[in-house]
Structure 1
Amino acid sequence: MSTIQKDFEERIEENELLNCMRCGFCLPACPTYIETKSEIHSPRGRIALMKAVRDGDIDSYEQVEESLNVCLGCRACEPACPAGVNYGHMLEEARAIFQEHNKPSIKEKTVRKTVFKQLFPNQKRMEQATSLLSFYQKSGLQKTSRKLGILKLFPKHMQQMEKALPQVSKAERSADTVFKAEGDTKATVAMFRGCLMDTMFHETNQSTIKLLNKAGCDVVVPNTQNCCGALHGHSGEKEGALDLAKKNIQAFEDVECDYIITNAGGCGAFLHDYHYLLRHDSIWSERAKEFVDKIVDFSSILIKLGFIDQHNLQVSPQYVTYQDSCHLRNVMGVYKEPRALIQAVQGGSLVEMEKADSCCGSAGIYNITQPDMSMQILDHKMKHVEKTYAQTIITSNPGCLIQMRLGIEREGKSDSMRAVHLADYLLEALVN
């Protein structure tokens, strides 16, 4: 028996694998199956491969690992599954097993160490990286690089992604950790700020806090919180994810609050899964459950506290469409609330796009690690967007936001179309 097979036996439950009835309800929900029409790139096909590894029916794992890596991890198969198979949990455990047994090249080892151990878990370094991006954008270096054609040394989708990155503000971070409600306090909430959201999308975090204040929330922002660990968990870096989860639980245990608020679908879903991640830890499992019970997306709390009834919302006349964050919808079950908020904005006509609930191809860093499949999915997504005639694409996750901006660049529509986070759109509607 190989060590990989042994780990599959010990760490991936046979009953969970057997829950898959091979019925095929997952197939029309799976973006990679839709694109390839190949069973090895479907949820039931990947589950069959995982079971074959566990049973010892496969002794060469290259195709299995490739199939798992091509998966977006969007988890659209889970709400489509009549048997309630927890595909996402098995996917991440299988990736972790392969990663632990791989012998990476020096280059891969260096990249992983830099990204997963030195950059994302360290907020100061994230801020430094964002400052470098700000300098690149505002110093004239960006214009010079484009003029000299330096970016042509990179793949085409990377050139377009450079244009899709937000204009980063170098504004001073507030020293405040408590932001008081406007009027009577209806709830005290703790804000999960995220690593990307509090650096590259810092203004969106500020928008979220202002909306919560206007809804009657005292907002507390714990200083000791860290990256949620989603990128670690999705990339097989399980130990890193466990470490970050424990630090975040500790950080929010020190705050008295009614809810823990997120404004990034990917972060929220991973935080929501902390109880599963720490299920075998006798010290942390109950603490994780108490933490998870307080996780709420900001759109849900705005609806709960009657934000729509309290405020007049208006924008200039425009068609808007909403792109679901996969993890916000498929894991946290939030999809009605963002639409209710968007529909409450006068002047903005919501036009539902076909397959708004299907992945845009971002999936964390998937658009970097699997660029061909990602761009294929994005190009099909943009065809659905075009049919809505929308001038504004709204979403609720930073990765989706960058991906939709990338789609706009690829279609050459940056002069007539924009992509914005829901929080920024709602604050814009309040200002106007």
Structure 2
Amino acid sequence: MRLLRLQNVTGSTRCKFGHAQEVLNYEVFQATILARTHFEFNTFYVSRAMTPEHAKSNLKILSEQCVKCGLCLPHCPTYKVFNIEPESPRGRISLMQGYCGDMLKFSDKLEERLQHCLSCRACEAACPASVEYGQMIDLSKFLLNQDSKAPFFQRILKKASTGLLTGPKYTLALTRQLVNIYQASYLRKLAQKSKILSLFKLDDSEKILPTYQQKSVNVPDLHQPEPPKVYLFSGCVAEIVDTATLQAAVDVLSAYGFQVEIPKQQGCCGAVSCHNGDLDGAHQCMEKNLNAFAGDAPIVYVATGCGAHMLEYSSPDNQAGGNFTSRLFEICEFISDYQFPQDTVIKPLNKKIALHIPCSQRNVLKNQRSSREILEMIPEIEIIDIPSNDICCGAAGTYMLNHPDVAQELLKIKLDDIRQIEPDIVASSNIGCALHMQAGLLGERSKVEVKHPIEILAQQIIDY
């Protein structure tokens, strides 16, 4: 049976305010800024009861949308790298049709071709037939998991890493402490000099670890009569390696007069599980977050990869999922819609910023202007778009760990552009992209830092 969801949420009227004490009417948040109108198969409807037969049936119907016109090929990053048909969206859809129709048996080569997809969804943005390629590749990876003959150690490591990110909050806190201890002690230098990282194939994972992170995010109490409330989605990776961005989001939202609340019951958005073929795990993440963010207050996130995935949440009756997605906002999009508080000053920043637009922001959220609008609030700043913003940087969640060779080829394109711009800072609104590019820059002994736009803004705000 074809499972369709029609989501047509258009327009929103928002209150503008310049004083922290003003109370907003949150009934206006029942619609989103952007018109999000599309038909789609919703994997989450069926993920808890998904069977290979059900996945194949849905995949067959989805694949029939593709007319094989090939307009997607120039936009596909792996097609740019390999320049062969099986590494293109059209080629992969043909492989999917053969696989789900039992015309192609599982093979290592088939798995390699399908797993090479970064799920950047640039093909969707270019497709004149609006083919739901993202849903198709997720279903394909689910099927591959059923047949995969990957080595036992590789399967255990993949399951353990996914479980760590999607597990309870205390596991994330413990991981952050262990990472901080590892970085602050001699253990990191010892591990890097020895061959232990290469032995366990952890050398690529270790390279993306950032510098020491603060223990937790400090949320101030505004001590104001009925300040407007905002939920902050913290996710999983940011809890471990990017608390600086979460703290910056809290600081900026507080400067705007919002009382920030970070629900302890929330968890991973589910993208890591979904893109690795674990649809049941993705569904569990969705249910956890739907319960954690119950209510009417807006939900703000800092990682566009998380936001792109959560935008497609839906419960079986669509009520809980619809209420959730209509309140969901990327931090720069959310802030740019309000007047800056009159009693707050932004310090000038005489620096050049290379602006990176992640695939999730460009192809799914479709709000490419929000990061620039936030940065343009800072006096004397110079902003230059990275020319290759239309090409995936290669991070793609855990892709940079699972397929480092392809990820590095794509990263080289970004690094070449950054080198030509000669920026002081690279700005990116997705944590995975930021970690990937920062590791590449450090590998070139570059002193250029990669920061979230909201962190750059927060550092310039005074007297809030």
- TM-score interval w.r.t. the shorter chain? 0.7 to 0.9
- Aligned residue identity for 2:102: G
Give the corresponding residue for 1:135: 181
Of 50-59 and 122-131, the range deviating more from structure 2: 50-59
Give the corresponding residue for 2:261: 220
Written as runs of structure 1 = structure 2, the 5 A alignment for 1:313-332 is 313-332=346-365
Task: Pick one of 384, 396, 400 that aligns with 1:367.
Answer: 400
C-alpha contact 1:207 1:423 (8 A) present in aligned 2: yes
TM-score for the superposition, normalised by structure 1: 0.87
Give the corresponding residue for 2:215: 171
- Aligned residue identity for 1:139: S
3-state secondary structure, aligned to 1:357 = coil
Q: Which ranges in structure 2 are unaligned for 5 or more consecutive residues? A: 1-50
Give the corresponding residue for 1:422: 453
- Aligned residue identity for 1:63: K
3-state secondary structure, aligned to 1:228 = coil
Q: CA deviation at 1:158?
A: 6.3
3-state secondary structure, aligned to 1:291 = helix
3-state secondary structure, aligned to 1:189 = strand
Higher relative contact order (CA 8 A, sep 6+): 2
- Aligned residue identity for 1:52: G
C-alpha contact 2:428 2:434 (8 A) present in aligned 1: yes
Structure richer in helix, relative to its length:
1
Give the corresponding residue for 1:297: 330
Q: CA deviation at 1:43?
A: 1.0
CA offsets 1:292-339 (integer angstroms, 9 cap, x no match) = 111110111101112398754344422111111211221111211111
Written as runs of structure 1 = structure 2, the 5 A alignment for 1:310-349 is 312-349=345-382
Give the corresponding residue for 2:286: 245
Of 393-402 and 108-117, the range deviating more from structure 2: 108-117
State how far apart, in whole Å, the 2-side matches of 1:94 and 1:201 are.
31
- Aligned residue identity for 1:56: D
Q: Which ranges in structure 1 are unaligned for 5 or more consecutive residues? A: none
Give the corresponding residue for 1:154: 198
CA offsets 1:200-257 (integer angstroms, 9 cap, x no match) = 211211110111121232222111111111100000011111111111101111x441
Give the corresponding residue for 1:117: 163
3-state secondary structure, aligned to 1:191 = strand
State how far apart, in whole Å, the 2-side matches of 1:101 and 1:152 are.
31
CA offsets 1:104-154 (integer angstroms, 9 cap, x no match) = 5432342233223355322211211111111111123334545xx226853
Give the corresponding residue for 2:115: 69
C-alpha contact 1:131 1:170 (8 A) present in aligned 2: no
Give the corresponding residue for 2:240: 199
Residues 172, 243 of structure 1: CA spacing in aligned structure 2 closer, same or farther, 3 A cutoff?
A: closer
Give the corresponding residue for 1:32: 78
Residues 48, 422 of structure 1: CA spacing in aligned structure 2 closer, same or farther, 3 A cutoff?
A: same
- Aligned residue identity for 1:225: Q
State how far apart, in whole Å, the 1-side matches of 2:216 and 2:420 are.
41
- Aligned residue identity for 1:205: L
Give the corresponding residue for 1:408: 441
1:208 aligns with 2:239: no
C-alpha contact 2:231 2:263 (8 A) present in aligned 1: yes
State how far apart, in whole Å, the 1-side matches of 2:102 and 2:208 are.
45
The percent identity for this pair of structures is 26
C-alpha contact 2:142 2:278 (8 A) present in aligned 1: yes
3-state secondary structure, aligned to 1:412 = coil
Residues 51, 389 of structure 1: CA spacing in aligned structure 2 closer, same or farther, 3 A cutoff?
A: same
Give the corresponding residue for 1:98: 144
3-state secondary structure, aligned to 1:79 = helix
3-state secondary structure, aligned to 1:350 = strand
CA offsets 1:137-186 (integer angstroms, 9 cap, x no match) = 1123334545xx2268539x965764552222343555x6x85498994x
1:10 aligns with 2:51: no
1:231 aligns with 2:278: no
State how far apart, in whole Å, the 1-side matches of 2:168 and 2:185 are.
26
State how far apart, in whole Å, the 2-side matches of 1:84 and 1:151 are.
48
Residues 342, 309 of structure 1: CA spacing in aligned structure 2 closer, same or farther, 3 A cutoff?
A: farther
3-state secondary structure, aligned to 2:237 = coil
State how far apart, in whole Å, the 2-side matches of 1:386 and 1:93 are.
38
- Aligned residue identity for 1:47: I
Q: CA deviation at 1:7?
A: 4.3
Give the corresponding residue for 2:99: 53
- Aligned residue identity for 1:297: E
Q: CA deviation at 1:377?
A: 0.5
CA offsets 1:335-378 (integer angstroms, 9 cap, x no match) = 11111111222232001221223211111111111010000110
TM-score for the superposition, normalised by structure 2: 0.82
Residues 12, 42 of structure 1: CA spacing in aligned structure 2 closer, same or farther, 3 A cutoff?
A: same
